[in-house]
Chains A and B, each alone.
Chain A
Amino acid sequence: QVQLVQSGTEVKRPGASVRVSCKASGNPFNNYFIHWVRQAPGQAPGQGLEWIGTINPNTGTTRVAQMLQDRVTLPRDMSTNTMYMEVSSLRPDDTAVYYCALEAAGTYFLHYWGQGALVTVSS
């Protein structure tokens, strides 16, 4: 059974950076992509899901939503099967639960999800 385990809660000041990790275990598919999705806290669906980006762990190729391209990077450490999401120049409206999720390559949907990591940006 595939498992995605994420790092814990973060509290950051505006202007700071944050790094969230996502470790895959349990024999992920041979070829898979890791996606990052965020959801602002509160009463959904007013706080809906927002797609941030994706990485092919085997090649390191990434795609990031245009609105976040200048602030988000998606590095990886294949020795530990761990993906990271880094967001710089944090703003209060970046406050959200950040999820990683796994797509079996070429299926275009998210099979497995991490438990989420709350990032709070506040002065």
Chain B
Amino acid sequence: QSALTQPASVSGSPGQSITISCTGSSSDIGNSNHVSWYQQHPGKVPKVVIYDVNTRPLGVSDHFSGSKSGNTASLTITGLQAEDEADYYCKSYTVTKTYVFGTGTKVTVL
């Protein structure tokens, strides 16, 4: 199972919106509603910000949102803030009942 493909880096100014894509295949994203996104600050453990494609866990800011179309999932951060600067990883359940992570995206707030 190959890693899902994400852009290596995305940047934006404070207040702007950015979108991170996550491209897989019909073996994972294309046939799964269980796509989640994790935020990881340097030296910290990952934290889930979106699950089941577009659901925010309790306590996660509503400026995170998720979507999916075909084999590609997306995470959008609206009103970018300094504390959003981190690495972001998508993860998808697969048809073989395993999981696969994305390659990761470094978000930089300019």
Using a CB–CB cutoff of 8 Å, the interface residues on chain A facing chain B are 35, 37, 44-46, 48-51, 53-54, 63-67, 99, 107-111, 113-116
14 cross-chain CB contacts under 8 A: A37-B101, A44-B106, A45-B104, A45-B105, A46-B104, A48-B101, A48-B103, A63-B98, A66-B96, A99-B45, A108-B34, A108-B52, A113-B45, A115-B45
CB distance from B54 to the nearest CB of A (A): 13
**Contact indicator A108/B36 (Cβ below 8 Å):** yes
Given contacts A108-B51, A115-B45, contact A48 B102 (CB under 8 A): yes
CB contacts under 8 Å to A, within B4-22, are: 6, 8
> Nearest 10 pairs between A and B by C-beta?
A45-B104, A108-B34, A109-B51, A113-B45, A48-B104, A109-B36, A51-B99, A49-B101, A44-B87, A45-B87
A35 and B46 contact, Cβ closer than 8 Å, known pairs A48-B89, A65-B1: no
CA distance A48 to B5 in the complex (A): 11
**A-B contacts, CB under 8 A, total:** 75
Whether A49 lies near B89 (C-beta < 8 A) is yes
The verdict on B109 contacting chain A, using a C-beta distance below 8 Å, is no
Distance in angstroms between the alpha carbons of A99 and B101 in the assembled complex: 14
In the complex, what residue of chain B is closest to A107 when comparing beta carbons? B51
CB nearest to B90 among chain A residues:
A49
A54 to B40 CA separation, bound complex (whole angstroms): 21
| A62 CB → nearest B CB, Å | 11
